[in-house]
Amino acid sequence: SRRWYCVGCMRFFLQECHLNTHLRASKLHNELTITCPGRRCTKAFVSYSDLTLHLESGACRSMVDRTIINNLAVRVEPRGVITNPARLLTGPSGDPSVPQPIRTYATAQSFNGTAYECILCHRTFVTLPRLDAHLNSPAHDEEIYHCPTAYDGCGVEFKTLSGLLQHMESECCDVRKFRNQVTKTLDVLTAQMGRIAL
């Protein structure tokens, strides 16, 4: 089958859009032009999805994390272009809100005789800290984001904003035809990230 090839990295890709994503998102082919808005954070990124992943991870000195990003996305984007109202809670005021994550920690009782087992999905882990990391990752979060079908998107759902951004930056689905309209929504969201990450 025909494969696409990056000469600089000597890597093959199965689809042209995968090669294009690699060329746009790789640190080897691009400058790090997007700086983190967090106070005292000096990190820079190639794409908004990388910046968002950095903030969602909770590793930024700004103390912004996945919960803050999710709440901001729902507040800034009430029309449901990229968020899925069916997966959100409705508060007393009628405004949608994100289900709050519960901090979960495993104990030694999670050991099943050979490994530490997640009681929710039954995946196993070699160490207890790895199981804890899994429990506090987005693995069991609601898929509150979706590729906007209103703009010819594929409707695929995502648990994180960074996952949706990576999908949109890949340009592998038809949402790329409406990139300007969707980008306006994302621009508002990323501008708000700058305000909260101080």
Place of tokens 């990230």: 193
Whole-number Å distance between alpha carbons of 147 and 15? 20
CB atoms within 10 A of CB 44: 15
CB 56 within 8 A of CB 160: yes
Place of tokens 């906007």: 148
Query: Over its length of 198 residues, how does the chain's per-residue pLDDT go in tens digits?
Result: 468 888 888 888 888 878 887 887 777 887 888 888 887 888 998 888 888 899 999 888 888 889 888 888 888 876 778 888 878 776 666 666 676 766 788 999 999 999 999 999 999 999 999 999 999 889 998 899 998 887 788 899 999 999 998 888 877 787 766 666 666 666 677 667 666 655
Q: Which helix (H) or strand (E) holds 34?
A: strand 34-35
Structure tokens at 193: 């990230």
